[in-house]
Structure 1
Amino acid sequence: MLAFLRPFLPTAALALLIAYSGFHAFTGDRGILASDQRDETLVAKTRELEQVRAQRQDLELRAHLLRDTSLSADLLAERARSLLGFADPRDYVIRMKP
């Protein structure tokens, strides 16, 4: 019986290898079925990157305005009031919990 099946062994092994590879191509971590999840993750990370870039740009502008070469009086007054807790008598102060 083994002599009868011997010519089909390489074909059967190749078919099993193809089936194994095909199964993992569909269901693996980087398979076709997981591509939707990767796309959603990519979109979410792209949005997060844009938010972080906007926040960084705002912080860089504020840091630039606080330098000696280009001091902004409004920003300096805002930071001084915030840190020292002072306000102009004509200002309306609304206290909020951090």
Structure 2
Amino acid sequence: MSMWTKHHKKRKLGRFVMPLITVAFLSYFGYHSIHGDFGLIATEEFERQRGERQAELDQLTERRKALELQVSLLSDGSMEKDILDEKARYELNVSRADEIVIFNSYFD
């Protein structure tokens, strides 16, 4: 009984397959680590937006504190007549002819 064996020639292309797959794999993930949705560029943009929104939050917090102070002056049960008069004049932009008007950011 004779035995059949197959002999394969070693291909020159065969030794480049694994390095090509490795390069393709590293290129794909390398690109997405920089340009992807969670990559370095997206992270920088997120940090920029976070800084802008933090500044906006700080500004709104200061505005809220000013409004809370204004409300406390108007609603503590002992609303002063001059505070009510001052607020009404400011909102309606009204003054008497003999008055000097000085604007500040008290009611803003």
Q: Shorter-chain TM-score: what band? A: 0.5 to 0.7
**Counterpart for residue 87 of structure 1:** 95
TM-score normalised to structure 1 length: 0.65
Letter in 1 for 2:43: S
Letter in 1 for 2:54: T
Structure (1 or 2) with the larger CA radius of gyration:
2
* Matching of residue 32 in structure 1 with residue 46 in structure 2: no
- Between the two proteins, what is the percent identity of the paired residues? 30
1:63 to 54, 60, 71: 71
Runs of 4+ that moved beyond 6 A = 3-11
1:51 to 38, 55, 59: 59
Unaligned runs of 5+ in 1: none
The alignment yields a C-alpha RMSD, in angstroms, of 3.2
Instruction: Compute the displacement of 1:63 (Å).
Output: 1.3
Letter in 2 for 1:80: A
